[in-house]
Structure 1
Amino acid sequence: MSIDYALIGEGMKQAVPWVGTNGVQFEHVSGEKVVAVLPDAAPQHNHVGGPHAAMIFGIGETASGAVVMAAFAEQLGRAVPLVANAEIRYKKVALGDLRAEAVLGRAAEEVIAELDAGQRPEFPVHVTISNAEGVTTTELTVVWTLRPNR
């Protein structure tokens, strides 16, 4: 079965209302990496004029979820992807459009092998968030699990 990665971004907008209502755009989607952009919007600002921390986390978690959906699309009939935990590191004040690059932290084949063995695998997705000038403002690690359907 061939996966149409272009549909992942549109599917995210349908399945997760926040993604569709906040203007998230997907520049690149594959089973190893996703690049998502959150355009700057004044109603989403914080007290220093940049995106609120919730928006920064939101674009990072969204990009991580998209790479999980792309990497494990063929497994979604038998397991549900869920966030197990996340750690965020704010490095610099974020201003303007945000670009989140999410990279799968383990080989998909290893994760699927654990699922095949009846386990509930966990795996990290590493996200780097940068501003329009390409300066890293935030780093995020989201640990996902694939919970087998009952």
Structure 2
Amino acid sequence: MTTGELLAATVPMAATLNLEFLETTPERAVVRLPDQPAYHNHIQGPHAGAMFTLAESASGAIVLEAFGSQLQRAVPLAVKAEIVYKKVAKGVVTATATLGRPVDEVVAELDAGGRPEFPVTVLIQREDEAVTGEMTVIWTLRPHG
């Protein structure tokens, strides 16, 4: 099962919005929100909540790729998210997430008994590549037990 399929199966909102997981690696996740009138706002672009879910889902995809090997001992959780809407979004929008700390550094903190936190930054872009939003999600790996 791919990361995109896993997220769609376990996170109903990702499936509801018909998110398309184009690329999911430990270095980068790219997720697309198709243009769907059911999720438009009052100016016929994607609703702010849909764009938030798109970006948060991209951040979750990179976290699963980067730290999937740690799931037997820790659960990834979003701790905090901040989004800035920069330009009007219309049509298809794509979110590109990047990890803000080296994987080895985060795992070393978990190995030392800590509960590491790390940022994931996400750019939201229209098809013309204009940046319509930016999000930062702070994630943690919470040890089981």
TM range (shorter): over 0.9
Task: Name 2:78's counterpart in structure 1.
Answer: 83
Deviation string for 1:61-106 (max 9, x for gaps)? 0000000000001001100100110111110011111100000010
Give the unaligned 5+ runs of structure 2: none
Structure 2 letter corresponding to 1:137: T
Give secondary structure in 2 for the equivalent of 1:120. Answer: coil
Deviations 1:13-55 (A, max 9, x none): 1110111121101111101110000001001011111111100
Query: Where do 4+ consecutive residues of structure 1 move more than 2 Å?
Result: none
**1:44 alignment partner in structure 2:** 39
The answer for the alignment partner of 1:95 in structure 2 is 90
The TM-score with structure 2 as length reference comes to: 0.98
Distance 1:87 1:93 in 2: 18
**Residue pairs, 1:1-150, within 5 angstroms:** 7-150=2-145
Specify the code of the residue in structure 2 equivalent to 1:123: F
Rounded Cα–Cα distance in structure 2 between residues aligned with 1:8 and 1:14: 10
Amino acid at match of 2:77: L
Q: Identity of paired residues, percent?
A: 50
Q: CA deviation at 1:133?
A: 1.0
The alignment yields a C-alpha RMSD, in angstroms, of 0.8
Which stretch of the first structure deviates more once superposed, 18-27 or 115-124? 18-27
In structure 1, the residue corresponding to 2:96 is in which secondary structure?
A: strand
Give the partner amino acid of 1:11: L
Q: Partners of 2:131 and 2:55 in 1: how far apart?
A: 12
Find the aligned partners of 2:48 and 2:62 in 1 and give their Cα distance.
Answer: 22
Mapped partners of 1:8, 1:46: distance in 2: 29
- 1:40 and 1:86 map into 2 onto residues whose CA distance is 24
- Aligned length in residues: 145
**Amino acid aligned to 2:128:** E
Identify unmatched segments of 5+ residues in structure 1: 1-5
| TM-score, structure 1 as length reference | 0.95
